[in-house]
Amino acid sequence: MSIASCRTNAWNALARCACILLSLAPLGAFAAQAIDFRVTVGGNVTLNETENYSAGGAASASRKRVEGGVAWDLVGGVAPRNATISITLSGATSAEAQVVAHTDSGDLRLTRPAGAPDISGGKLVLYQRAAGAITGRGSLKVKLAVEVSSLSVPQPMYGEAEQTLADQPGGDSVEFPVVVNLAMGIAQGSIFVRPRTDFAATASILPGTPLSIVSANAGQGAEITGFRVFSAGGQQIVGFRLGGLAELPPSSPGKALAVEYFNAQFGHYFITANPQEVANLDAGLPPGWARTGQSFSVFTAQGAGLTAVCRFFSGQAFAPKSSHFYAPRGLGCEALLPSSPVWAFEGDVFYSYLPDDAGACPDGNVPVYRLYNQGQGGAPNHRFTTSVATQLDMLAQGYVAEGLGSGVGMCSPQ
């Protein structure tokens, strides 16, 4: 999507003006698509219409209107790749002009490859891209909402995310994911996906000041760039088809450092790979936590063979103490997922390989030992360490080993 520079119309040489050009890339090889347009100037809606077109076709021709000092011009209707709306304002007061467009592709069938494993409890991720070159008092907000339905699940599943582009040097672009958590028991052969993209281009127009918000450059616009499907364990399953969208290949996961902290008052250990949490704890927020000097590497994104690691929080269940618990999917996470009255699920926070039944990790990875304090001090707590010496020390203090083999709870990349 982009917003073009403006020109005053001949009917009013003194007019303030804004020309907003929405370039909407097709979502894929769909049979049909609808785009809703709404133009608002100074809080008043001056255009509210729907255009429909088939793949490769275009919607109706130009229309113009002048009402109450506001002129809008829908030029050329809606083609599969772009639609142009020009707004020209007259009068002596400033105003906010906004063009809102909504695209809805209809239901797309998600078709799995032969022999694919169950995706119940997994994720569908769609990726939205927006690009332009914002050069003035304007902004562009893009939101993608995704609905997934299946006859085998009583309620639809939803996911949405949005990003706003504002003026900065050079071209402006953003790509962001939208995650839909797939329900348990979802049927593999009857899954339908409905993406809807909302665009809002907003300009602040001052009296007597022509405005250029975004230059419309070739190759820029907004589109869904592709999708991925993941199992409940966080592993991408390849070979799916979803309308005309591209299935993206497995990504190369990055790494982060899970840093360990200790609270002497609670007698609790805590790890985090979240940069903001690390910065807060190092700054004493909340107070009482200090680095132990231990840490280990984790993967920050899904990849082949990797499993998501869940994080839970005890809240007020053991007040005044609280505790976090980490467990990979397939090695302790699922037991706490169904609405535990004690442990609140905080999401999948990083990724790891699982050890085998003997506790051995894949080549290039080292064991992370999981130790449980057995509720000492009135509240549960776990410690995670790659140090055998630390593991033995904690066992001597009354902790017990949890996990596979000699107590391996996950694996850490070297």
Q: pLDDT band at residue 92, thresholds of 50, 70 and 90?
A: very low
Is the pLDDT at 383 greater than 80? The verdict is yes
Is the pLDDT at 404 greater than 90? The verdict is yes
The mean-pLDDT minimum among 55-64, 98-107, 140-149 falls in 55-64
The answer to whether residues 349 and 273 touch, using CB atoms and an 8 Å cutoff, is yes
pLDDT number for residue 235: 77
Residue 67 amino acid letter: E
pLDDT number for residue 260: 93
Residue 6 amino acid letter: C
Q: pLDDT by residue (tens digit) across 245-256? A: 889 887 777 889
Is the pLDDT at 386 greater than 50? The verdict is yes
pLDDT higher for 368 or 105? 368
Q: pLDDT band at residue 355, thresholds of 50, 70 and 90?
A: very high
The answer to whether residues 92 and 107 touch, using CB atoms and an 8 Å cutoff, is no
pLDDT number for residue 279: 86
State mean pLDDT over 342-362: 91
Q: pLDDT band at residue 344, thresholds of 50, 70 and 90?
A: confident
State mean pLDDT over 57-66: 46
Q: pLDDT by residue (tens digit) across 93-144? A: 566 666 666 777 778 999 988 888 888 888 899 988 776 666 566 677 788 8
The mean-pLDDT minimum among 66-70, 224-228, 305-309, 374-378 falls in 66-70
Check whether the bond before 117 is cis (ω within 30° of 0). no
Query: Please, what is the average pLDDT of the chain?
Result: 75
Torsion sign across C-alpha atoms 132, 275, 232, 239: positive
Strands (E), 220-328: 222-230, 241-242, 255-263, 268-272, 289-299, 307-313, 324-328
pLDDT number for residue 264: 93
Note if the pTM is more than 0.75.
no
Is the pLDDT at 68 greater than 60? The verdict is no
Helix%, strand%, coil% for the chain, nearest 5: 5, 50, 45
Q: Is beta strand 344-352 parallel, antiparallel or unpaired with respect to 307-313? A: antiparallel
**Residue-wise DSSP of 71-134:** EEEEEEEE-SS-EEEEEEE-SSS-EEEEEEEEEE---EEEEPPTTPPP-TT-EEEEEEEEEE-B
Q: pLDDT band at residue 49, thresholds of 50, 70 and 90?
A: low
* Torsion angle defined by CA atoms of residues 243, 114, 239 and 148, in that order, rounded to the nearest 10 degrees: 50
